[in-house]
Amino acid sequence: MNYYSLNNRQNKSTFSQAVIKGIASDKGLYFPEKINALPKEFFDKIEYFSNEEIAYQVIKQFVGNEIPEQVLKVIIKETLSFDFPLVKLTNNNYILELFHGPTLAFKDVGARFMSRCLGYFSKENSKKTTVLVATSGDTGSAVANGFYKTKNVAVVILYPKGKVSHIQELQLTTLGENITALAVDGTFDDCQAMVKSAFIDDELNTIQLTSANSINIARWLPQMWYFFFAYKQLKQKDKDIVISVPSGNFGNICAGLLAQKLGLPIKHFIASNNANDVVTNYLKNGAYSPKPAQQTISNAMDVGDPSNFIRIKELFDNNIDNLKKSLSAFSFTDDETSKEIQHIKKEYKYIVDPHGAVGQLGLNNYLKNNPNTIGISLETAHPIKFLNVVEPLIKETIKIPEHIAAILDKTIVNKKISTYNELKQYLLASEKIVSLSE
């Protein structure tokens, strides 16, 4: 399988090259050259397959022969070492829990898969790879955990100072070893802009940089899997299925739409947004107008210029009318989100985090006019990660998982930066230290 740059279709790379580089030499995102639909028999019998078997069938065409079958199956097994339960609220409203991984967020899947792929490709390479990642919250902790102590890999995480939850910050700043956290005086968009600047800076050419944001295909592609897992659990209902995805950088919902292109029988997707409503507005008026990110209580979606939306447009040949047949988008305020957290707790005795609440709001908005469908919303993070938001709303103490309690007394270790030049100088200094030690 080859991948082409969305800036130039003639600029192509293999799977391994795309994983190691992160983005193309012309700074475009990679996109698969071919998307081959899975056979009908696969979906007819999907309930008889294990999650690992499903994952292998879904991903193998995108990996090709660059990772041996048995190695790829081990990578998948290690990635999917936790459950993806479906919780029933009503007969046509379900929640898919994606927070049962080690950092309690859906991004554990992509981070674990990518770290193992990069580890395989790097095992014969003595040169250090630096994984540079911007995070609005959960990406950083998932990447830090996934790459912790990986040989020949250093991880540098940029996060907006004061704009992630306390537990999120603890998760990405307390590991040490090959993980470094940089607290940026700014927003997630500022962090992302710094990362993009590093990739186009000729003075950093001596450093082997890659990205672990969802712009990297090895982070993005495995997120297809849990859409298949959800369908497997509801297939017998014989009704159209729609899925609501809390959306920030749009990698997750892009993976769902790619799964649909593979033949997954999902009728429609809903991009559920907070106040950062760039895509919601685009689907209304056809104008894509990025704007500065607004800070909300669903901070992982505080993105004013979602990187992966260009991939979504490519999936639909840049035709907005075709896109609207598969995708709707709704935007909600913090007040609406807070009330939904309270409503779900009171009505269903279920606790959602702020992102899951936005997902439910989007799903319910869609179901009003489509009552004969079955809806699934994604609960992308454990509510424990947002204690300061959730507990005052539900007036209840949330039990802290043991592995989270273990980090609560740890000291946050980070380096504070304000400008791209500070990031650049840090990277150059770190590379110099490595060179002197070799």
Q: 411-430: b or e for each residue (b if 16 or more CB lie within 10 Å)? A: eeebeebeebebbbeebeeb
Q: Is position 107 annotated as part of the catalytic site?
A: yes
d(CA 67, CA 173) in angstroms, rounded, equals: 32
The residue among 66, 352, 43, 298 whose CA lies nearest residue 57 is: 43
d(CA 219, CA 217) in angstroms, rounded, equals: 5
Triad 121, 124, 128: Cα angle to 5°: 80
d(CA 300, CA 273) in angstroms, rounded, equals: 11
372: number of Cβ within 10 Å: 8
d(CA 20, CA 120) in angstroms, rounded, equals: 11
The pair of structure tokens assigned to 55 is 């994952």
d(CA 29, CA 98) in angstroms, rounded, equals: 26
- State which H helix or E strand residue 270 sits in: strand 268-273
Q: In sequence order, what E strands does 296-358 have?
A: 327-331
Given the residues 107, 163, 232, 345, select the one marked as catalytic. 107
d(CA 111, CA 7) in angstroms, rounded, equals: 25
The residue among 74, 19, 388, 438 whose CA lies nearest residue 212 is: 19
List, by residue number, the catalytic residues: 107
